[in-house]
Structure 1
């Protein structure tokens, strides 16, 4: 009788264990870059590719400045403003928060300046100080207001919004939230280098994510890792000036534009990697840090709850150095 009861108990316990499935991978192109998704399905033959694609398309039609009929393009083409969709509203409100917390270093109206310097969605012009002064008149998120009816207005017709510094991170969050809504708890979502992870990887441990060493390589062929992180249930975004730049008359022009001066930044900070619960938030702050520089970035990130930063900079001898917030240290794997 005892053996019979033991067999029944073992069978019951075994039947209570959920069946696990092999991790699946999905790749594609969106926002002018590539995405990679790894997840553990909760059902056999569970392919949710179509659902993910639909979610990414929603983001694209809300925030792409390369689509003339996207929500953000309609706002840019308008004279006074438009009623915006929920996605653009969420991104705009997050952008305003980061704008205020960074004293304007993150600014979604900086697009015309980015275009003028040759890094945006329009062709490069010959930049003059007069042109920059003129463009600065239309820069500043304080010139854009959202009312209770979701109408986003602007002070001048020339004001434009550009979500490129936050859209990839938001796209990552949208996909991650979709996966969670399908009951998926173990996943990694990456779009153009911005990442959000949850649960564990296929080896049963936290996800391993590398931080690149800053190397001037526009083709992104060379890649060395500065550090490897152990992450779960967070978003990670990195911004740097070592990939997107050009050289003219012997001078290097980086793609990070200071919204206050109108000119590409010139300081020792080479890259900023930010960790936050939402990848969109990490994305926005990473961009802001590249504007603010090392010391100001450390001050701002350390003052914010549940946000950590990792910074690679060049010292006075031209050597690369690393500095990070206190909470970031526990995420770095000892090599």
Structure 2
């Protein structure tokens, strides 16, 4: 939780180095404190291998990933999973239950139906909005309650037709995984970023924490002022942001964002531009930011209050953007 942060540190020897690459259809970067003679290429290769391993397990775009194999498995089959994939799915199902299905990792069929998944893309020629019958079919394949887990055998039951999509949690998990890799290797002071999700550990050489600005939505679709940057110190903390501006498409003058409410089967339309969540674990911040975005401002603030989530909500209004802080975030800042 936000108050469970690393103890205060002092200035450390060395300078800030940066390495980076690509993964999961996006980019990654790591800032780390080391002396001027540090050999970075081996470390960069280790980080890339770590990220490639997460992608090989949890990608819905790779037909040979462990998750893709589960999604193709016959109805009624129990499927063994690698430890990381099983753990992330189990965590995602807990968030789904906690959020009342606002976040649901089994919504892959709905993601595909709206043109945000591998089978068909909203940018493809001839793309049409899903017909009511298509949405009904996709919703019939959705439901976190349908997945059964066997922790002892590290297996998950494919009930038939369920397409799990871990996109809203895998990047956060990858951030945590890289941070653990660095800490285990003696790199105690670092800032890890994957696709905009961040986790900071330790401090910079001057002894200050890793200060970052919470991601602000762009003034598109009719304009409006960009939200004022809110700075947070990632000293043993992570931050993840979900927003309606990251991906989407316009059809017949109507905008459809990539954030789909599994409870309705349709993209959200309540005007919540973004939600940023600060949490000890980036995987949790990633999943919770998605859940709160789906809920909308009123339901989301109430949920954040019940579960002590540190969250920044940015709402679109006719006059521009409005910021709303959960109680836990206000206390943290």
Q: Quickly name the TM-score band, shorter chain normalised.
A: 0.7 to 0.9
Secondary structure of the corresponding residue to residue 166 of structure 1: helix
**Map 1:218-297 → 2, pairs under 5 A:** 226-297=229-300
Whole-Å Cα distance in 2 between the matches of residues 40 and 81 of structure 1? 45
Moved over 6 A (4+): none
Whole-Å Cα distance in 2 between the matches of residues 43 and 320 of structure 1? 43
Contact 2:11 2:208 in 1 (8 A): no
Whole-Å Cα distance in 2 between the matches of residues 131 and 28 of structure 1? 38
Whole-Å Cα distance in 2 between the matches of residues 323 and 190 of structure 1? 25
Contact 1:211 1:225 in 2 (8 A): no
Whole-Å Cα distance in 2 between the matches of residues 19 and 263 of structure 1? 50
Return 5+ residue gaps in structure 2 as ranges: 1-9, 122-126
Contact 1:186 1:201 in 2 (8 A): yes
Q: Deviations over 1:48-106 (max 9, x none)?
A: 22221221111011101121111101101111341001011110111011101100111
Q: How many residues align?
A: 310
Q: Deviations over 1:101-129 (max 9, x none)?
A: 10011111111111111112221453111
Q: State the Cα distance separating 1:275 from its structure 2 match.
A: 0.9
Whole-Å Cα distance in 2 between the matches of residues 298 and 247 of structure 1? 29
Q: Which residue of 1 aligns with 2:327?
A: 326
Whole-Å Cα distance in 1 between the matches of residues 237 and 19 of structure 2? 20
Contact 1:109 1:141 in 2 (8 A): yes
The higher relative CO (CA closer than 8 Å, separation ≥ 6) is in: 2
Secondary structure of the corresponding residue to residue 123 of structure 1: coil
* Coordinate RMSD, CA, aligned: 2.2
Whole-Å Cα distance in 2 between the matches of residues 19 and 319 of structure 1? 42
Deviates more, 1:63-72 or 1:209-218: 209-218
Q: Which residue of 2 aligns with 1:64?
A: 59
Within the candidate set 309, 312, 324, 2:311 is matched to 309
Whole-Å Cα distance in 1 between the matches of residues 297 and 288 of structure 2? 13
Return 5+ residue gaps in structure 1 as ranges: 1-16
Deviates more, 1:42-51 or 1:175-184: 42-51
